[in-house]
C-alpha cells in the first residue's frame, strides 16, 4: 500500500514547519518530525536490533504502508520517562 495524496500534503506541511523551525533556530529542532527505525536507533546510540527488542514496544508509531515512522516527540517522551526511572532507581539504591 502506498501513501495517498493526503499523506503527501501532510509531508509538505511538515516540511514547511521544519523549515520555519530551522529559521527560528529552535534548539531541539531535529529538522524532521519523524524518523525511520534506523535513524531512531542512531539518534539513541543503539542498534536497530536493540531498538526493536527493548524500545519499539513503548513507542507510538506512524504507519504508512509497510513503513514505520517514529515521531521525534515520541523518542523524546520515551527518553524523559526512562531517564526518570533511572534517577528514581539511583535514589532507591542510595546513589
Q: At what angle do helices 72-92 and 37-44 cross, to 10 degrees?
A: 40
For residue 65 the three cell numbers come to: 504502508
Q: pLDDT for 23-82, tens place per residue?
A: 444 455 548 899 999 999 999 999 999 999 999 999 999 999 999 999 999 999 999 998
Q: What is the DSSP string of the chain?
A: ----HHHHHHHHHHHHHHHHHHHHT-TT--S-SEE-HHHHHHHHTS-HHHIIIIIGGGS--EEETTEEEEEHHHHHHHHHHHHHHHHHHHHHTT-
The verdict on pTM exceeding 0.85 is no
Q: Where are the domains of the chain?
A: 5-92
What pLDDT does residue 84 have? Answer: 73
Amino acid at each position: 500500500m502506498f501513501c495517498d495524496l493526503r499523506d503527501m500534503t501532510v509531508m509538505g506541511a511538515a516540511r514547511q514547519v521544519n523549515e520555519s523551525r530551522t529559521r527560528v533556530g529552535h534548539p531541539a529542532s531535529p529538522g524532521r518530525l519523524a524518523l525511520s527505525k534506523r535513524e531512531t536507533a542512531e539518534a539513541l546510540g543503539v542498534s536497530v536490533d536493540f531498538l526493536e527488542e527493548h524500545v519499539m514496544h513503548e513507542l507510538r508509531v506512524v504507519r504508512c504502508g509497510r513503513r514505520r515512522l517514529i515521531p521525534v516527540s515520541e523518542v523524546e517522551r520515551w527518553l524523559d520517562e526512562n531517564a526518570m526511572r533511572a534517577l528514581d532507581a539511583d535514589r532507591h539504591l542510595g546513589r
